[in-house]
Structure 1
Amino acid sequence: MNLQIVRRTRAKFRGFTLVELLVVIAIIGVLVGLLLPAVQAAREAARRMSCSNNFKQLGLALHNYHSAFKQLPQNGSGTARLISDANASSSFTLGWLVGVTPFVEQQAIWEQISAGVDSTGSVYNPMGPPPWQRIFDPWDTDIGTFRCPSDPGFGLPALGRTNYAACIGDNPWMSHSGGKNRAGFWDWTGTNATPGDNHTQNESGQTNPNKGSTVSAFARGTNRGVFWNRNTTKFRDILDGLSNTIAAGEIATSLGADELNANMVAQKGWRFLEDGLGPAWCDSYRDPERPSFRGSGVSYSGANGRGYRWADYRPAFSSFHTINPPNGISCAMNPADTSQAISTAGSRHQGGAHVLMADGAIKFITDSIDAGNRQAGFAQNGDRTAIQRAPGQASPYGLWGSLGTRASKEVIDEEI
């Protein structure tokens, strides 16, 4: 009797064998391996939804701004440059996001900007100093509504970052200046050209083919987006229809890794603009073994990284073209110049990027959208030898280019 009790007690407390334990661990490992991608996908889906919601808020802000001022916020606004102190005023370099700050619950920042006073007590002209001045608090502030949660970029050497950029059309010619004078300076591309200017050469001694009143006509023919830099636009100017025209798009901020969808690459010279080679010329910058990264050429670095200044209107920071498809390459003519460039939409989402249509709708555009003939030159006016298309023609960059023009009368015959 006592022996049976002992045997039953021993049987009752018998543990797992090593094989059983290993099987259980293996099963748990497989389940965790299956679960983690699902968790990561769910988190990215939540971030992507939040990103879309932020963009929706910006769309509402644009419409509220237009209701209040009967125009869209100007991209390339501010006060004139002071000859006595170039850093005391904004020099017409402020982007579209500055104007919408009061409409996205950032009234305190707007009051600092409009007064030109920051928390340190420094006093500048109204609308503050240029947007690269870190000492001015608003420029160095990250505003949550201007950031997409899917983008992990943060911190120095950037100032306040943004992931949302104004659409400035399908042509880089004069899209930086819009044909407007910035501060009395001048060059033959129209960067700072003034209608009526009688100069015949630029600072390098090159002949100016677009002097005088030709500058206005030239710029009018090349600035085809909802936003026309240093000029005002209204909803009435969007003849292609608000629902068929992109007002803004996502950009990925630079992580300092030479990724082509988040950095600009450059090589000194005007070739991609001047020789009529089209945007495909930028592809020479790709690493053939790692197509998503830079190969030859010079990558923008330091404070000129992609999306590094939410308040700066220039292509490297808060504007883009509908030329190369989303997550394509962005390239510029000069590593020392963040102005003359082809700027491209992009994101940290898989397979595409969000865009904001002029009617306030948010669309997700895939990388594979029809981008037409990337060998085609840009629509131009004037007497450049590289002219391939006259102004007013349909965009050669397919559906993507057509969505970026406000009044070129392209027919959008498919649901976006």
Structure 2
Amino acid sequence: MNIQKTKPRLRSGFTLVELLVVIAIIGVLISLLLPAVQQAREAARRMQCSNNMKQIGLGLHNYHDTHKVFPPGWFNRGHLWSGRILPYIEQKNLYDTLLFGESDNWAPAGPNEDACGTFISAYFCPTMPLPQHYDSFNSIKNRVPMSYLGNSGTLSSADKVKQVNTSYGPLSLQALDQNGVIFGCKGMRFADITDGTSNTIAVGEAQTDPKFGKDGQAVDHWYIGSNQIDPCRCDGSNHGAEFSETVGSAAVKMNARLNDPSVSGHLLELSFGSYHPGGAMFTRCDGSVAFLPDTINFNTYQALFTRNGGEVNQGY
């Protein structure tokens, strides 16, 4: 009887070199995949931001249909354009809690302050890397930052007359005669936008950052109401402050913190911009939404912010 000896079975497995090669390949694949995933996420966030701005545009149109004008940027008691259109962006219940009397303010505690602390997704770009609430910022508790600013035009370079930089713009936001669409105390009509509603910006994004400051000026933007703007006399006098909480100016470049960082903090706060790479979203007066690259020619950029400048839009 022959007894055959069986050879021991060799175990298959990875050598150390093979294992390192596999790990290296996985690392390369991940490095290729992550940017694509991040781009897909940003594309989704940009689409949501565009939807927000479309909703704001529809709110402005519905407000105009009711009142025959666009909402002013603010009123004498600090009520902002973003608060006035609440009933037209499905926030009527919140709007109905607001108090509009002369004796009412935005802080301390009360329904107006509570409204400023109510999160409204349509006013918050999902790309903006900020908390949804800031505790007691400018005396208003749980205040929610705003991603979008009304278009005051191209003339203002500061909130107050004493801060004006005439190299950028001859006016402050205290002036009542701006060349944009949304600014202090005056409501513009469609008929006032002689450059055409498709050629004129109504609202744009801002690179809001309440914790960033320069020259004593924070880049803070808010919605519904402002205790710093209240009271404003609406007579063009040196009264009221921080109008740049709710409107911007094209006197300065888009994304000035990146593209013109040497300018004053007052101009930085007025700058439109965003946390999207390469530019920002804007709502035109006809309700359409466009993404403008921050490489846009500055003259073309400014022309989009004047309602009656007579410029010929060369495209962008």
* Mapped partners of 2:103, 2:118: distance in 1: 14
Note the residue ranges of structure 2 that are not aligned, 5 or more in a row. 138-142, 162-170, 230-241
How far off its partner does 1:315 sit?
Answer: 3.9
1:311 is aligned, of 225, 233, 236, to: 225
Aligned to 2:146: 162
Query: Could you tell me the percent identity over the aligned residues?
Result: 33
Summarize deviations over 1:346-395 as a string: whole Å, max 9, x none: 10011111111101111111112122xxxxxxxxxxxxxxxxxxxxxxxx
User: Counterparts of 1:203-282 in structure 2 under 5 Å?
Assistant: 219-220=176-177, 223-254=178-209, 256=211, 258=212, 265=214
RMSD: 3.0
Structure 1 residues 245 and 138 mapped into 2: Cα distance closer, same or farther (>3 Å)? Answer: same
Structure 1 residues 315 and 345 mapped into 2: Cα distance closer, same or farther (>3 Å)? Answer: farther
Contact kept, 8 Å, 2:156 with 2:251, in 1: the verdict is no
Which deviates further from its counterpart, 126-135 or 150-159? Answer: 126-135
Aligned to 2:67: 69
Contact kept, 8 Å, 2:220 with 2:269, in 1: the verdict is no
**Number of paired residues?**
279
Question: What is the one-letter code of the residue matched to 2:201?
Answer: I
Contact kept, 8 Å, 1:160 with 1:310, in 2: the verdict is no
Contact kept, 8 Å, 2:156 with 2:173, in 1: the verdict is no
Give the number of the structure with larger relative contact order, counting CA–CA contacts within 8 Å between residues 6 or more apart: 2
How far off its partner does 1:25 sit?
Answer: 1.4
Aligned to 1:283: none
* Mapped partners of 2:300, 2:152: distance in 1: 16
2:93 is aligned, of 108, 111, 118, to: 108
Question: What is the one-letter code of the residue matched to 1:24?
Answer: V
* Mapped partners of 1:243, 1:145: distance in 2: 22
Secondary structure in structure 2 of the residue aligned to 1:40: helix
Which deviates further from its counterpart, 322-331 or 350-359? Answer: 322-331
Summarize deviations over 1:40-89 as a string: whole Å, max 9, x none: 11111111111111101101111111112211112112xxxxxxxxxxxx
Contact kept, 8 Å, 1:370 with 1:399, in 2: the verdict is yes
Contact kept, 8 Å, 1:175 with 1:229, in 2: the verdict is no
User: Counterparts of 1:118-197 in structure 2 under 5 Å?
Assistant: 125-126=100-101, 129-131=104-106, 133=108, 135=110, 136-154=113-131, 155-157=133-135, 158=137, 159-172=143-156
User: Counterparts of 1:320-331 in structure 2 under 5 Å?
Assistant: 320-329=248-257
* Mapped partners of 2:210, 2:172: distance in 1: 32
Matched, 1:60 2:58: yes
User: Counterparts of 1:330-409 in structure 2 under 5 Å?
Assistant: 343-371=270-298, 398-409=299-310
How far off its partner does 1:97 sit?
Answer: 0.5
Secondary structure in structure 2 of the residue aligned to 1:404: coil
Question: What is the one-letter code of the residue matched to 2:61?
Answer: H
2:81 is aligned, of 96, 103, 110, to: 96
Structure 1 residues 41 and 234 mapped into 2: Cα distance closer, same or farther (>3 Å)? Answer: same
Aligned to 1:415: 315
* Mapped partners of 1:140, 1:103: distance in 2: 19
How far off its partner does 1:401 sit?
Answer: 1.5
Summarize deviations over 1:195-226 as a string: whole Å, max 9, x none: xxxxxxxxxxxxxxxxxxxxxxx843xx1001
TM-score by length of 1: 0.61
How far off its partner does 1:173 sit?
Answer: 7.0
Contact kept, 8 Å, 1:254 with 1:308, in 2: the verdict is no
Note the residue ranges of structure 1 that are not aligned, 5 or more in a row. 78-90, 117-124, 178-188, 193-217, 266-297, 372-397
Contact kept, 8 Å, 1:315 with 1:342, in 2: the verdict is no
* Mapped partners of 1:106, 1:3: distance in 2: 85
Structure 1 residues 341 and 20 mapped into 2: Cα distance closer, same or farther (>3 Å)? Answer: closer
TM-score by length of 2: 0.78
Matched, 1:31 2:16: no
